[in-house]
Amino acid sequence: MKSRRKGLGVRPLADDHDGSDEEEPMVVIRNGQAVRMGSAVNPVQAAVQAALDGDSDDDDERSTIQKKLRALRKKLRQVHDIKQRRRKGEELDAQQKAKLRTEAQLEQDIARFEEELGEIDGAQDGGSEDGGEAADEGEVEAVAVAVVQPTVQLPTGESAPASGGVLQQRRELKRQRHLEQLQRKRLALEAKKARK
């Protein structure tokens, strides 16, 4: 038995059509938003919509990476909990032992995704996400100096004044801060491993 809805087919234009040769713009749904297509589309509006779509793609990618990072960090916490239990003398089953063997891979994956997230953050002009860590005075002074006189590291290892607009300078500064933060985290992780 076929079910059919009435009134959803193609309909002829209404009688009040003024007879002009202009086509009515067609409305299409893209990424959950209505977009007008056809000859009546304003090129400026199309460019703005394309830029917004690109931003949403970056946001989607960013949120996907953040979800993966949360999942990986949760697994790493579980591994650390299992290690604590083992230190207390608790017997581990085969599944827990298998989780312990994945620790190095989890740390590598976390570092890789943090780096990808840093690249995305460097490409965007959004706010900084330091994870709520407090910065010491040396970092604050270094950042203040960098904001006043932004520089770019050249491939030769020398610093040169940053060229480009203010947004480009901010992006570069944010990228550098994020890379420094990742480096600090890696060093702290290595120091923690060395103590164990």
pLDDT in tens, 84-132: 999 999 999 999 999 999 999 999 999 998 888 888 877 764 544 444 4
**Domains of the chain, residue spans:** 42-126+165-196
Q: What is the pLDDT of residues 25-59, one digit of tens each?
A: 677 787 777 777 664 455 556 666 665 665 556 67
Phi, psi dihedrals of residue 28, rounded to the nearest 5°? -125, 145
Residue 162 Cα distances to 98, 128, 147, 165, 176, angstroms:
49, 20, 11, 9, 13
Tokens of 48: 């703005």
CB-based burial of residue 19 (10 Å sphere; 0-12 exposed, 13-18 middle, 19+ buried)? Answer: exposed
Give residue 62's pLDDT band: very low, low, confident or very high (50, 70, 90): confident
- In angstroms, the CA 116 to CA 173 distance is 17
Residue 13 pLDDT: 54
Task: Report the DSSP beta bridge partners of residue 30.
Answer: 33
- In angstroms, the CA 117 to CA 123 distance is 10
Contact by Cβ (8 Å): 182, 114 = yes
Residues above pLDDT 90, as percent of the chain: 22
- In angstroms, the CA 124 to CA 122 distance is 6
Name which of 143, 140, 159 is nearest 151 in CA terms.
159
